[in-house]
Structure 1
Amino acid sequence: MNSIFRSLLIILVLFSQNTNAQKRIKLFNQKDLKDWYAFGDEKGKQDNAANLFSVENNMIRMYGPKAGYLMSEQSFRNFELTVEYKWNTDTNFVRKNNSKNSGVMYHVPAETPDVLWPKGIQFQIKEGATGDFVFLQEVTLNINGTTITPGKSVVSKRFADAENPIGEWNELVVISKNGKITQKLNGKLVNEGTESSVTEGRILLQYEGFPIDFRKVTIKKHK
């Protein structure tokens, strides 16, 4: 009986570990842009995302003369999103401008049309402003007891600076649960709010003109 009990216990532990591991999903497989499509200011929607952006050395490399983005095919609700990014300062990469400006959007509704930029919430990645909220196309959030005024593009500044020096990797985390949104950068809380007017949607990686690399894009679903 004890032997059977021990065997069942081991099976239960292994099953639990496997289940926990499966909760974190790799949105980027570090090989190609499967499960993403691209949208460009000039070429429009590209089902083959490699028409606009590339994968090299296990990184998503976003660069070129026109702005655009990568959009996940799948939508998510109640999650922890982790993204690692770094500015690409190699002058061999074509750029639209020299302004270090990008972002990671989330809660982009499935029915939202492809435009620059669609409805959703943006974790701002911008020199001197990384960690700001940007609320696009009338999205609202309650911050410090006050609901922001809806608009086409509304910024709510970060609580603190936490971006690493240019050339180093950064890790941003977005936690969304039942309308509460938390943004962290390199382990530090940089923004937070409640009562989000959007609670489900797709993930979007922005390219606004300065080359940027992403090497990790994972999501962990919450109940």
Structure 2
Amino acid sequence: MKSFFWLNTIAVFLLVSASMAQEVPLFNGKDLSGWHADVPEKDKNPTIGPSFLVREGMLVSLGTPQGHLITDAIHENYRITAEYRFPGETGNCGILVHASTPRSLYGMFPKSIEVQMMHENAGDFWCIVENIEVDNMVERRGPKEAWGITEGKNRRILNLTDGSENPPGDWNEMVIECYKDRVRVWVNGDLVNDGYGATASRGQIAVQAEGAEVEFRKLVLEKINGLSE
């Protein structure tokens, strides 16, 4: 009987340990280890102030100078959970998944699929030299002849809901699930986008500085073996 008990205890321990091992804190709450910034304006003015910093245990995108904070590591089949807010004036920001070649669009944006965080637009997709499909494409992306993934094309795919974001200044939770060619997004528990046929399935993860200050108090990645129910 004791042997059976200990075998069950060990089995539970191994299952819990395996689950915990899948979680990767993208931000450690102390510094920007594991990330690097790409800020084009620094090419001409290397002494310009930072676009990203750590403040009171939070990762902060200051919004300017515009650029991206990019993971050193490449990830595949994962779920990101981000808790964020605009502490002051609301505006634009985003999390980029499957990022690769830097400065592929407008000399600024890395090749990727952006999950928009802009206030009142959280969960929109933006195609950045990568593509993704959704249901009701014409309704959500506009006339097919205007679609594209480069400058001047219709790269925005509208989200599924309105009103999923909390009031300005309050914290929001965004969950981004990337598995094979699928990208799904939840904002505060609402499924706000569901894409498939993505032209990339792995890459780096990036956070934008695109005009507005955004605080992240949580930024965690979990490896997944399939889609959520």
1:113 to 92, 97, 102: 102
Partner residue of 1:78?
77
The answer as to whether partners of 2:51 and 2:65 remain within 8 angstroms in 1 is no
Secondary structure of 2:41's counterpart equals coil
SS at match of 2:117: strand
1:118 is matched by which residue type in structure 2? P
Instruction: Tell me the TM-score normalized by structure 2.
Output: 0.83
CA distance in 1, matches of 2:70, 2:220: 14
- 1:127 paired residue among 119, 136, 140: 119
Q: How does 1:1-223 map to 2 (within 5 A)?
A: 2-44=1-43, 51-63=50-62, 65-89=64-88, 100-109=91-100, 112-114=101-103, 115-137=107-129, 139-144=130-135, 149-152=147-150, 154-161=155-162, 162-223=164-225
Per the alignment, residue 144 of structure 2 pairs with none
Identical aligned residues as a percent: 29
Residue deviations 1:26-62, cap 9 Å, x none? 1101111110001113115xxxxx9542111110122
CA shift at 1:186, angstroms? Answer: 0.7
For residues 61 and 191 of structure 2, the distance between their equivalents in structure 1, rounded to whole angstroms, comes to 27
The CA RMSD over aligned residues, in Å, is: 2.0
Q: Which runs of 5+ in 2 are unaligned?
A: 44-48, 142-146
Gaps of 5+ in 1: 45-49, 90-97
8 Å Cα contact 1:99/1:209 also seen in 2? no
Q: 1:99 to 1:215 in 2, by over 3 A?
A: closer
SS in structure 2 opposite 1:43?
helix
Q: Is the 1:121–1:135 contact (alpha carbons within 8 Å) kept by the matching residues of 2? A: yes
Q: Normalized against structure 1, the TM-score is what? A: 0.86
Q: CA deviation at 1:20?
A: 0.7
Contact 2:51 2:64 in 1 (8 A): no
